[in-house]
Structure 1
């Protein structure tokens, strides 16, 4: 099967973003930096692409110019093991960015992230529809996900 590498389009901040992301996630690294040459279209010597890995998943940051920006139509999801992980990633990624509803945030580069417990999908699609709806209602009232409060709402009778 071919390898799929998400490409993230930046104006000029690709290297800064990649450096930031690899500082947030364990087992992550920048693997290559390429620069524009004389053929352009950007000034020779400026960073064109940055290849990096977040916990083994490859990504490419492209400094393509201001024509395109991120929006919420695409986001990266972090399946967190517990509240400690939710807190860690929420704090790091929202710094200088913008908190959103239901575990969503935009980082300082405008990229959208979903920071939630790994079993959130199972919880809000629980076969017990009343339990699932209580969990969904609780989540809809949160910015950063409070795992204990989410389960408390789901399990109340």
Structure 2
């Protein structure tokens, strides 16, 4: 599911995780057993960004996350 911003990521994530299971890399299983990946639109400019080193840092950051956090992905891309 594409989310416009962090607020939308959080709203989807919280709804799916209620009675479900939190996974890694943006994946969450709902109470009925269906898996969803909640992806912020900003991911296209970080993991798919024009700077290969920044994209690699953002990918590494994503691999360590459960819920995807836009600010952390951007910070990794920027090298902060």
Fold match (TM-score > 0.5): yes
Aligned-residue offset at 1:122: 4.0
**Quick check: which one's strand share is greater?**
1
Check the 8 A contact 2:42/2:70 in 1, yes or no: no
Q: Between Structure 1 and Structure 2, whose CA radius of gyration is higher?
A: 1
- Distance in 1 (CA, whole Å) between partners of 2:57 and 2:47 is 8
Deviation at 1:121, TM superposition (A): 3.5
Alpha-carbon RMSD: 1.3
Unaligned residue ranges in structure 1 (runs of 5+): 1-77
- Report the Cα distance in structure 1 between the residues aligned to 2:40 and 2:53, rounded to whole angstroms: 20
| Cα separation, 2, equivalents of 1:89 and 1:121 | 19
How many pairs does the alignment contain? Answer: 80
Match of 1:115 among 15, 19, 38: 38
Q: Higher relative contact order at CA 8 Å, sep ≥6: structure 1 or structure 2?
A: 2
Could you list the runs of 5+ residues in structure 2 that have no partner in the other structure?
A: none
- Secondary structure of the residue aligned to 2:8 is helix
